[in-house]
Structure 1
Amino acid sequence: MNSIVILLLILFAYLGILFLVAHWSEKRENSKWSNNPYVYTLSLAVYCSAWTYYGSTGLAASSGLSYLTTYIGPIIIIPFWIIILKKIIRISRINKISSIADFISLRYGNSRFLGALVTIITIFGILPYIALQLKAISETFHVVTNTATSSNIFTDTTTYLAFVLALFASYYGTRYVDASEKRKGIVTAVALESILKLFFFVLVGIYVTFFVFDGFDDIYNQSQKFSNFKELNSIGGLPEAINWFFLCLASLFAIFLLPRQFQMAVIENNRENHVKTAIWLFPLYLLIFNVFVFPIAWGGNILFEGQNVNSDMYALLIPQLFNNQIITTLVFLGGLSAAISMIIVSCIGLSTMLSNNVLIPYGFIDTLQTGELKENEKRIVNIRRIGIFSLIILAYLIYRFLVLEYNLVSIGMIAFVIIAQLAPAFFGSLLWRRGSKKGAITGIIVGFLICSYTLLIPSAMGAYNEDIDFIENGLFGIELLKPFQLLGVDYLEPIPHALFWSLFGNLFAYMAVSVSFKGNYRERNYAEMYVDIEKYSKNHENAFVWKGTAYTSDIEKILKRFLGEKRTNRALNIFQLKYNVDKNQELADSRLIKFSENLLTGHLGTASAKILISSVVKEEKITLTEVLEILEESKENIIINKKLTETSNQLHKISDQLKNANEELLKKDQQKDEFLDTVTHELRTPITAIRAASEILFDDEEIPDEMRRQFLQNIISESDRLNRLIDKILDLEKFETGKQKIHLSQNYISKTIQKALNPLLQLIKNKNIQVEFNPKSDLSLINYDEERIIQVVNNLISNSIKFTDENNGIIRIETNQTDEQILVSVYNNGKNISPEDLNAIFDKFFQSYNQTIQKPIGTGLGLAISKQIIEAHKGKIWADNAPEKGVIFYFTIPTNLE
């Protein structure tokens, strides 16, 4: 009794953690922890249900390698997800699709009957599969606690677990009225469960392989004593290979068509690029899961040889046999994770299908059509919540009264065969334009009837009991009508046999009816949009064909009844901006019809959305020829619009460039004027000084010799200053026009820097500046124009002298050499330069442009000339602010300059 209480506490604590994770994720919907490709991929591992967790081991123990077919199918098709799954995701996102029933029914003209048919078929196949998960939870609970299964519903722990799961799924699965909205909480919780179930299964695998046995070789060698070991663990001949092929095909279809897979892979996908991660991570997940299936299965066969135990439970029974309660409990939690995630996601998908394709279009549409926003939202959410709750409870009843006598694999494979009946209509919708509603309906019905005859009825009558006349002799005693050997095909096992005949009949009926009877215009319209979704993904409303009379105000009223006034107005504003439609336009066109249907689809499903919009518009019939002409015209319009958009974007880009260029020219023009003012001022100053001194000397012949020499010295000094200024302007002009040449010679950079530094030492000493320069002796000779590089270094040091700290000035010069270049840096501890000006300081107009009231120091030509000199040497020059204080100027010279 204590073990039961402890396990129940652990179980409900675990469920509490799931609630918390789901709640946390819902509150942080944009968090990277819940919105990334790894969480998306791990959520796809909902494919690995309790059947995978326990049933694969049981199947491997009794049937050998055939358990691999469940995983080979998905692994084969997953590389093509980059094309197929992305296409499905795009179609669903554009059309606000919320279930696989919506996906199929929309393609075939919003068929209400087809959507309901897909829903019923899916529920018929999946409910026993959900019951299978509850069965696995119940059996494993009693294995762990060493108790017998209770015949009383009220003392069966599975009853309360099913009730808790129903509450959890009905709450977190219906948080949004729009069923196409992303359920972050569920996705994150499922991803967490996927990690846990994999970890716990690998844990028990390692325990069995390396602690119970002495590695893989030991298990393999001991297993060979079984007479059927080699036979079971080989594919065999051609009949066995054909059986494998059809089993792989069933799992291939399942990875697309199971409601839980469609929900996670398509509806919950926020970014198509997440598929790129899924195509390698998901197969890796499946591979890791299967590494230890064989050791656990055959390790169990060895340990329990001759004992009547359920091989499905080997993962629990082996650690329990050695009294390892911790691993036993963890394995139970892993199986619980596998079952819970499958139950919750499946019921969310099924309830959406049930409400959108059966209950609303066939029962509540009239009530919703006349209701107000709050009432409608409440009704829709309650319909889905009741649907989820009812499905889980119904699955529980199936578990209690119908599936207790069946093993995990048999029920799972039957579900796969039933779901496979959607394959022709589903894949036909993506690949074949001629596929029609009548063909899809006929194919699904024919396939399901054949499946019922060859598999469901015999299974319900006692599965493989040879005493039953129907199974042994066929219907009415006709041998060719044996359910397991239909028309004499006797080399296929029951599951592959049923899959082969049902798919053959389904596909044949689908294609034959589609070719024989033309679909209506809407079917062909959606066929084009599904097959060529890449062409219509951005302007899919343009490709929708509709003709008739519709008023914008009527459509707006319907939308407000389900979306509310605020959301409706926002949506219509987006539509009007997207298609440049006048908001006062009275008549609605085909684009608004499609746009409105999409808005309602997430709330009500494709069929109900069509019914509601059709109730307020007057549609006219369109011939198939008109449809094709409109679609062709639409394609041309899309191509033209694309070209116009590209041209418009280019014109916008060119316009922006012209605008920037014009602003730059105005700026340059202004800079030029200011530069000319500055240069004029600089030229006028020495000229004025020279003229003044000359006039004094000319007018006054009695000036003392000492004063005369002083005036002559001023004339010489100002003449030199004038000459230097003119040289700088001429240098700059020559470099910019390409007339200036550099004269290369081999030099040591340290010596060149010293030559540039020497004339400035007295000025440095006068300003009490500390210079740090230690010439490196290990630098090699390189080619450059020494006079010009001296000019660069002189400019940089002179600049540093002007702007270094007035009280404690420091200038630091460093050199470094690599195989490709020499790097020289000149640091001063003055003020930092604003980041936006770091590049502009090398502009010849920069200083005069930034002039305010005070006259700038110098002309601003030194750095501009330095840049021209360094670039002529094919090097680079730049400035950067020092981390602490000051500015560092850098320049490079290639070592291989010739």
Structure 2
Amino acid sequence: MNNYVLITIIIFYLVMLFFIAFWAEKNSKSKWINNPIVYTLSLGVFCSAWTYYGSVGVASTSGAEFLPTYLGPVIASPIFIVLLRKIMRISKHQRVASIADFISLRYGNNRFIGALVTITCLIAILPYISLQLKAISETYEIITLDSSSGKILTGSESIFTDSTFYIAVLLAIFASFFGTQTADTTDKHIGIVTTVAFESIIKLLFFLIIGVYVTFFIFDGTEDIYNQISQFKDVDTLTTFPDVYGGFNWFYMTVISFVAVFLLPRQFQMMVVENDRERYLKYVIWLFPLYLLLFNLFVIFIAWGGNLSIGDTANPDYYTILLPLKNGNIVLSLLVFLGGFSAVISMVVVSTIALSTMLSNNVIIPYGYLEVFRNTETERNNKYIKNIRRFSVFSLIIAAYLFYVNFSRELSLFSIGYISFVIIAQLAPSFFIGLYWNRGAARGAKAGIIIGLVVTFYSLILPLILNGFFNTNSFVEEGPFGIGLLRPYQLFGIDFLNPIAHAFFWSMFFNVAAYLSFSLMGSGNYRERNYAEMFVRSSNYSDLQEGAYVWKGEAYVSDLRRILERFLGVSKTERALELFYKKYDLPKDTVMADAKLVNFSEKLLIGSIGSSSARIIISNVVKEEPVSLPEVLQILEESKETIITNQFLKDKSEQLTRLTADLKRANEELIFQDKQKDEFLDTVSHELKTPITAIKASAEILIDDDEMSLEMRERFLNNIVEDTERLSKLIHNILDVEKLSSGREQLVIKEYDILKTIEEAIHFVTAEVNCKKVTIFNVVPPMSLKYDEDRIIQVFINLLSNAIKFVDESTGEIKIYLENFPEYVLIYVEDNGKGIPKEDFNYIFDKFYQSKNQNTKKPLGSGFGLAICKHIVESHGGSIWAYEFVEKGANFVVKLPR
């Protein structure tokens, strides 16, 4: 492919990433940006060029040896919900911006530990970044030279003619622009997170495409590849799992990757610092392993396909890009290149942002710029901080480029990657043990990290240097001064581990031993123990927040305010202090600062200048008194008791609040029901009294008037009969409700046609329909169902009577229709009347309730109709309800089982 065409494509791709990041920053509140999928995909930054290219290289020579790199993160994922949640809570509470801040804060804001962790990360990650640049450079050369043989040139004579140099500069610009927009490093980098998530999709998609292409287009499926590789000379190495001794290698390599997924600066940045919501973890524990599984789905088949098609004539790391080139598919090779380029960009950008934060907060500022910051105004301080980070980003990427040019050309992606992992693992004892063991001390952390680095250098890095620069292997074969027990790859006689696992085992052994022994040599100062208790018992002390911080001395609010204004500005400082005063119910004119305010001020500064520098700045304006260890423990115990008491009181308060609300609702319901009962009794007594009075009057007339004509006497007798029937019906309704409520009603279930049953109900209300000139549309089809016909007729009579009552005269319309389902039917009674008022909706099926929304001056009926309907339908195993939100009228639904 033409050089300029590829450069144009790369620039276009970078511009697109700029646009995505810019759009994400502008739409930071959008659900397309803030969601668990984007967060989980951003963790795909773990899959760098090592994953994209190096795994295939390892699989092509060692079979399944590439798997431990991913088994560690997969095993770690289920415990994210416990371990990572604790790390997140501590980090958010303490405003931690990097893993160096986290570890140094655990050991009392120790400045030396912060610098030591930063230097360890630089030693580990700079070669790792150079690995990414190496992958870009070599794949760029393969494509531009259209070299299906995979022969890599030695590179350009000058950095100014080296395309990799310009790509590195573009990455530095991208990282500095979106990673250093604010001085506060705890601010979220929404644009970076979104672009990393996008690149995670791109690199996975293109890797799956090349996997499918190799497996099903170049070869005839997985079985075909396996059958052909079975004839390969090294088939046993490529197709079998390791023996017992090899199992130890797998174990240690898995542990290395397990540790790395927590401790790599880029992973800590994306998992902890950029996390916006803790609840996203429940998605991570299954989605992240799934992502890694998909990434490794075709690795072994691409590797075997490369062995069969290309063999050892080319670097196996680049089989993914060489296979489509060999088969004349330049478009697919370009897609693979862009996928690898995406893996490089995400790793380099996030790593340099994390490292620049660590470098500025833990090395440059605390060891060089504090005096300048003390005497400079806010805007200039912020400008200094941002420029320091930008300078750090550029310096890191250029340093990685220089390392690549001078050292890493001859090393494989796999070897560079695992060397970085082993170095970063030296932070593990101080990090993990410190989270759960409160006796871990700063001197133990320092000793453990330093001794671990020394052992790693001796047993892993020194042999590579001697072999690379002096072309001698005697140190490895004979040991220093011929001492066999000190051979770097077989230290103290352990000769069954590969160099990576061997270096990890011994470095961890001496690291942990030093950490534990040095920590137990003394009790530690009060500040260390204070933060140790806060980290170890983070769940207990998180509620007290600043109250868990132990401090004695004298501090003035005005001094703290002045320092905060110098870094945060006047308005931000005032807003922060106002919230603090409101939270702890303190007067705004408070003169003396207590421990809570001192700690609060220190945490505000951590985001801008790091924990170590924040401690030094604050200590310069307060008069701190030493606190004995017993005092620390006593204060912390009192804090713990306060938390327990406060939590107990809070729970009781919430319980009383809920009970009060329940009682209030119950009381309102009783008052309402009582009112309804009163109205019901008034109605019932009126309804009972009316026919009784009429019966009595008619009977008295018949008794007193002996000369009444036969026709008149017959009319009065008919009146008595009608009133008696009316009275009987009323009493029957009352008994009906009580009988149905108590379950004493025996239903006569038979098979009937629902159409005929509804027509019978319509016939019963014909007089009311004609009187009010209402139109009824019955579109229910014939259908056999099993029910008590008399009772179901009663249901529809009541529903129709209700509908007639609420519609307007002459224009009233009632529609009855049915929906059929496999297990039940829904029968709708819909009208265009006045509808159901919102305040009536919850009570329409109560047996004492009558709506005030009738088209009459006085409510008609006894309020039993819908209550009877409800009991009848439920006794058939069905249900009845009304739709609350309809445009006009009411819509009742009767659900009957098939």
Give the TM-score normalised by structure 1.
0.89
CA separation in 1, counterparts of 2:746 and 2:336? Answer: 81
What's 2:859 paired with? 856
CA separation in 2, counterparts of 1:210 and 1:489? Answer: 44
**Which 10-residue stretch deviates more, 522-531 or 293-302?**
293-302
| Match for residue 844 of structure 2 among 829, 833, 841 | 841
CA separation in 2, counterparts of 1:79 and 1:651? Answer: 38
- Superposed CA deviations along residues 458-483 of structure 1, whole A, max 9, x for unmatched, are 32333496636544544345444333
What's 1:625 paired with? 630
CA separation in 1, counterparts of 2:195 and 2:569? Answer: 31
What's 1:448 paired with? 453
For 2:53, give the aligned amino acid.
Y
Aligned partner of residue 517 in structure 1, secondary structure:
coil
The answer (yes or no) to whether the contact 1:64–1:232 under 8 Å persists in 2 is yes
Q: How does 1:594-633 map to 2 (within 5 A)?
A: 594-633=599-638
**Which 10-residue stretch deviates more, 395-404 or 719-728?**
719-728
Deviation at 1:343, TM superposition (A): 0.5
| Change beyond 3 A, Cα 1:34–1:707 | same
Q: How does 1:169-248 map to 2 (within 5 A)?
A: 169-223=175-229, 227-231=233-237, 233-248=239-254
- Superposed CA deviations along residues 472-527 of structure 1, whole A, max 9, x for unmatched, are 54434544433334334444333223222222221111111011122222222222
CA separation in 1, counterparts of 2:175 and 2:212? Answer: 34
Q: How does 1:35-50 map to 2 (within 5 A)?
A: 35-50=34-49
The answer (yes or no) to whether the contact 1:66–1:244 under 8 Å persists in 2 is yes
Q: How does 1:282-301 map to 2 (within 5 A)?
A: 282-301=288-307
CA separation in 2, counterparts of 1:739 and 1:319? Answer: 79
- Superposed CA deviations along residues 827-878 of structure 1, whole A, max 9, x for unmatched, are 4343432455333333455436568993334454433454466667776443
| Change beyond 3 A, Cα 1:892–1:851 | closer
Deviation at 1:114, TM superposition (A): 0.4
- Superposed CA deviations along residues 558-607 of structure 1, whole A, max 9, x for unmatched, are 33443344444444454455555555555444333333333322222222
CA separation in 1, counterparts of 2:260 and 2:693? Answer: 95
Q: Report whether the alignment pairs 1:274 with 2:277.
A: no
What's 2:892 paired with? 889
The answer (yes or no) to whether the contact 1:878–1:889 under 8 Å persists in 2 is yes
Q: Report whether the alignment pairs 1:510 with 2:509.
A: no
Aligned partner of residue 892 in structure 2, secondary structure:
strand
| Change beyond 3 A, Cα 1:822–1:65 | closer
Q: Report whether the alignment pairs 1:128 with 2:131.
A: no
What's 1:651 paired with? 656
| Change beyond 3 A, Cα 1:567–1:700 | farther
| Match for residue 807 of structure 2 among 804, 809, 818 | 804
| Match for residue 373 of structure 1 among 375, 378, 381 | 378
CA separation in 1, counterparts of 2:8 and 2:847? Answer: 79
What's 1:65 paired with? 64
The answer (yes or no) to whether the contact 2:780–2:816 under 8 Å persists in 1 is no
CA separation in 1, counterparts of 2:834 and 2:751? Answer: 32
Identity %: 52
| Change beyond 3 A, Cα 1:69–1:845 | closer
Q: Report whether the alignment pairs 1:312 with 2:311.
A: no
CA separation in 2, counterparts of 1:352 and 1:199? Answer: 32
CA separation in 2, counterparts of 1:152 and 1:128? Answer: 21
- Superposed CA deviations along residues 800-845 of structure 1, whole A, max 9, x for unmatched, are 2222353254445568999988866544343432455333333455
| Change beyond 3 A, Cα 1:696–1:353 | same
| Match for residue 399 of structure 1 among 390, 398, 404 | 404
For 1:300, give the aligned amino acid.
G
The answer (yes or no) to whether the contact 2:70–2:257 under 8 Å persists in 1 is yes
What's 1:55 paired with? 54
What's 2:487 paired with? 482
The answer (yes or no) to whether the contact 1:559–1:568 under 8 Å persists in 2 is yes
- Superposed CA deviations along residues 30-52 of structure 1, whole A, max 9, x for unmatched, are 32322222222222221121122
What's 1:30 paired with? 29
For 1:70, give the aligned amino acid.
T
Deviation at 1:326, TM superposition (A): 0.9
CA separation in 2, counterparts of 1:537 and 1:633? Answer: 14
| Change beyond 3 A, Cα 1:579–1:676 | farther
| Match for residue 466 of structure 2 among 435, 449, 461 | 461
Give the TM-score normalised by structure 2.
0.89
**Which 10-residue stretch deviates more, 381-390 or 116-125?**
381-390
Aligned partner of residue 97 in structure 2, secondary structure:
coil
For 2:866, give the aligned amino acid.
L
Aligned partner of residue 627 in structure 2, secondary structure:
coil
Q: How does 1:150-169 map to 2 (within 5 A)?
A: 150-169=156-175
What's 1:99 paired with? 98
| Match for residue 830 of structure 1 among 828, 833, 856 | 833
Aligned partner of residue 881 in structure 2, secondary structure:
strand
Deviation at 1:393, TM superposition (A): 1.8
| Match for residue 417 of structure 2 among 412, 428, 434 | 412
CA separation in 1, counterparts of 2:329 and 2:762? Answer: 82
The answer (yes or no) to whether the contact 1:424–1:507 under 8 Å persists in 2 is yes
For 1:525, give the aligned amino acid.
N
**Which 10-residue stretch deviates more, 92-101 or 34-43?**
34-43
Q: Report whether the alignment pairs 1:21 with 2:23.
A: no
Q: Report whether the alignment pairs 1:349 with 2:348.
A: no
| Change beyond 3 A, Cα 1:800–1:70 | closer
The answer (yes or no) to whether the contact 1:674–1:849 under 8 Å persists in 2 is no
Deviation at 1:644, TM superposition (A): 1.5
| Change beyond 3 A, Cα 1:777–1:71 | closer
The answer (yes or no) to whether the contact 1:177–1:381 under 8 Å persists in 2 is yes
What's 1:143 paired with? 142
Aligned partner of residue 37 in structure 2, secondary structure:
helix
**Which 10-residue stretch deviates more, 837-846 or 863-872?**
863-872
Deviation at 1:633, TM superposition (A): 2.8
The answer (yes or no) to whether the contact 2:54–2:413 under 8 Å persists in 1 is yes
Aligned partner of residue 514 in structure 2, secondary structure:
helix
How many residues of Structure 1 are paired with residues of Structure 2 in the alignment?
889
**Which 10-residue stretch deviates more, 278-287 or 805-814?**
805-814
| Change beyond 3 A, Cα 1:676–1:13 | same
- Superposed CA deviations along residues 532-563 of structure 1, whole A, max 9, x for unmatched, are 32333333334332333344444344334433
**Which 10-residue stretch deviates more, 49-58 or 18-27?**
49-58
The answer (yes or no) to whether the contact 1:257–1:419 under 8 Å persists in 2 is yes
Deviation at 1:439, TM superposition (A): 0.0
| Change beyond 3 A, Cα 1:56–1:791 | closer
| Change beyond 3 A, Cα 1:553–1:303 | same
The answer (yes or no) to whether the contact 1:351–1:387 under 8 Å persists in 2 is yes
For 2:857, give the aligned amino acid.
Q
Q: How does 1:476-625 map to 2 (within 5 A)?
A: 476-581=481-586, 585-625=590-630
- Superposed CA deviations along residues 65-121 of structure 1, whole A, max 9, x for unmatched, are 333332233233333223222222222222221111011111111111101110011
* Cα-Cα RMSD: 3.7
For 2:194, give the aligned amino acid.
T
CA separation in 2, counterparts of 1:466 and 1:107? Answer: 44
Aligned partner of residue 850 in structure 2, secondary structure:
helix
Structure 2 unaligned residues grouped into runs of 5+ = 147-152
The answer (yes or no) to whether the contact 1:671–1:849 under 8 Å persists in 2 is no
The answer (yes or no) to whether the contact 2:806–2:853 under 8 Å persists in 1 is no
Structure 1 unaligned residues grouped into runs of 5+ = none
